[in-house]
């Protein structure tokens, strides 16, 4: 990876948002992994968080998908929908992760992100969610929903 230019990495990850910034971060992370971790990706969230450009969502993704360890990836969809349903009452994704760790049964942690991302993209949109087509509407508190379709 150290021989691949940031421009080449950027072209390879182009569909991703902020691809130029992420390309530089990927190279830096690879350098850091070689220098501090002997080329091995850590399997602990705290160690992953020491890598520049790695946040809680990415660290959780690595430990869950890479190592099969329990974790909850909280992105904008998981944060928004968990609060909208009234399952948690938090103001930040990190607070949502901690609230979900305390409340959500561990067996659901890994799949929770995938379930809510697809749901958030197709039904529970940030603005004007499709409440009329929502399969969990009777259970939803619609926290913060001012207009829906």
| Catalytic residue annotation | 57, 75
Q: Which of 66, 123, 57, 124 is nearest to 92 (CA)?
A: 57
How many Å apart are CA 122 and CA 124, to the nearest integer?
6
Secondary structure of residue 103 in the 3-state scheme: helix
Torsion of CA 76, 78, 79, 80, to 10 degrees: 80
Residue found under tokens 């992420």: 22
């Amino acid at each position: 990876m150290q021989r691949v230019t940031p421009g080449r990495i950027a072209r390879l990850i182009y569909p991703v948002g902020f691809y130029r910034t992420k390309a530089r971060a990927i190279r830096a992370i690879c350098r850091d992994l070689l220098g501090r971790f002997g080329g091995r990706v850590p399997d602990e969230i705290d160690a992953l968080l020491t890598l520049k450009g790695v946040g809680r969502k990415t660290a959780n993704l690595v430990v869950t998908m890479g190592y099969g360890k329990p974790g909850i990836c909280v992105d904008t969809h998981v944060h928004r929908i968990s609060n909208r349903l009234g399952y948690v009452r938090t103001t930040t994704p990190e607070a949502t992760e901690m609230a979900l760790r305390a409340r959500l049964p561990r067996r659901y942690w890994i799949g929770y992100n995938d379930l809510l991302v697809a749901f958030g993209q197709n039904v529970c949109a940030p603005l004007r969610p499709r409440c009329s087509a929502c399969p969990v509407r009777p259970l939803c508190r619609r926290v913060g929903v001012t207009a829906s379709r």
